[in-house]
Amino acid sequence: MFGALRPRLVALRAAILDKPQPAALAGRFDEAAQLALSRELAGLFSYDFSRGRIDKAVHPFCSGSGSDVRVTTRTDPVDPFNCLYSTIHEVGHASYEQNVDPDHLLTPIGRGVSMGVHESQSRIYENQLARSPAFAGWLLGRMRDTFGDIGITDPMEFARAVNRVSNGYIRTEADEVQYNLHVMMRFDLERTLISGDLAVDDLEAAWNDRFAADFGFAVDKPSNGCLQDVHWSVGLMGYFPTYSLGNVYAGCLHAALRADRPALDAELARGDLSGATTWLRDKVQRHGALMSPRETIKAACGAAPSEAPLLDYLEAKFSALYDL
């Protein structure tokens, strides 16, 4: 699956980076206003505050299940997208746990079935829904209401800003096009570590060589390189691929959602997420771990998981945004 993803992602990235970069937001953004808008968005995406809460932390995360599912987010005075989209991402995780059938709670099937399926919920909330041009147009209005002049007034230019593709070191901050390339690099390095073909002492050099080959520029310091993620240092081997599996699953779910709800863009343009979140609740979230991950996605989409819907979605979306 990763082998099939790479060529089209690399080609798409090359075409995009050859185009002019979209405009960036201007100004500074009040922290209290960011947090207030992030809570509004959480409610819009059906987060149940009677069974959870949102707080500020250094790193966004979601924790808990059933009747106690909590979320953290973070703020940046010059980048409100960090707060808003981190919150939506974590609400995708939280909604999965909150929407498991109550009859399953306190049993082995009373939680999300896998990290891959969990990531599909956070990624479809954050990307296919919240970064869609349709929803971005609605969000532009709310941001201007909240912050005043943000340097952008045109909805399509705002959608380009929300979906900016640019070079960077950090996986968690990567755009949709390049995110999976970060994961695949880690996956390959991880396999060489596990097999014994790569010594831990040689990991930094191997990372730097592979990063330069894959992304075209050099790592400047270890915190932007092999030390940026905690996974290996705390023993979470085999974790990185779940992020790309989640993106693949989200691509499948998004295609099925659009087939079932042909008016989805009109709903998103009104800031109405109820149809999309209800569909995901009924098709995926309520089942918890009743089925295997593959069975869960196949039951929701009517077909086995495939990378093709994700690639088709990315190519169509970014071709329109960057006039490819």
Catalytic residue ranges: 90
Task: For residue 240, give the nearest of 174, 195, 173, 190 by alpha carbon.
Answer: 190
Phi, psi angle pair for 65, to nearest 5° = -160, 165
Q: Is 65 helix (H, G, I), strand (E, B) or coil?
A: strand
- CA dihedral angle for residue 203, residue 177, residue 81, residue 26, rounded to 10 degrees: 100
| Cα–Cα separations (whole angstroms), residue 63 to 71, 83, 94, 97, 109 | 7, 18, 8, 9, 17
Task: For residue 118, give the nearest of 288, 238, 257, 304 by alpha carbon.
Answer: 288
Contact between 117 and 284 (Cβ < 8 Å): yes
Work out the angle between the directed axes of helices 308-321 and 155-162 (0-180°, nearest 10).
Answer: 130
- According to DSSP, the residues that pair with 129 across neighbouring strands are none
Q: Is 64 helix (H, G, I), strand (E, B) or coil?
A: strand
